[in-house]
Amino acid sequence: MTSSYLPNLSHCGIFCRDLGPMKSFYCGVFDLIETDRGHGVTFNFEIIFLSGRGDQHHQLVLAGGRGADSASTVMQLSFKVHTIGHLREARRRALSLGATKMRGLNHGNALSIYCMDPEDNTVEVYLDTPWYVSQPHGDPLDLDRPDDEIWAETERMVCADPSFMPASAWSGQFAQRSAELKKELS
């Protein structure tokens, strides 16, 4: 029997102007650790590999070579957390390490904060909710409110949306669509 083909996005890399502040930001906010560093053989610039997991050599790669006037081409780098308290901690750490343009958004299916890292790349920190609503969806999120108020407001918001369903129901529909597509392709 052949194993199922199921690629899993596991890491990303970004070009940087100044590796030092970028490493400090991502290590300080997300507890990443430098696992390796060197000058690329096929990529002719310095590369720093960062990870927060012992089972992944790198989750984020920082590469030198971004021009001083080059705009970011990163739409967003997203980091998943598990509690609203973790969102608040990420916000605190990011702001203390120079993040700008901090804002919170309630997507219904996720609670998120967004900011700009030291080189103006968009960073998202989010936690999943147990609900689904079609995307894009974004209402303001005030993390200074108590957790129970945030959860109650989110539940009211998603239940009023015509696309609402429990996240488990959406996952079931996704699995069915995926199986059907794979069957068509075989």
pLDDT tens digits, residue range 156-165? 999 999 999 9
Answer for the pair 29, 113: CB distance below 8 angstroms, yes or no. Answer: no
Can you give the pTM of this predicted structure?
A: 0.86
Q: Does 13 have pLDDT greater than 60?
A: yes
Q: Which domains does the chain have, with CATH numbers?
A: 9-69 (3.10.180.10), 71-186 (3.10.180)
In this predicted model, what pLDDT tens digit does every residue of 74-105 receive, in sequence order? Answer: 999 999 999 999 999 999 999 999 999 999 99
DSSP label at residue 118: T
3-state secondary structure of 155: helix
Q: Which residue has the tokens 């000058």?
A: 39
Is there a cis peptide before residue 130, judged by omega within 30 degrees of 0?
Answer: no
β-bridge partners, 128: 110
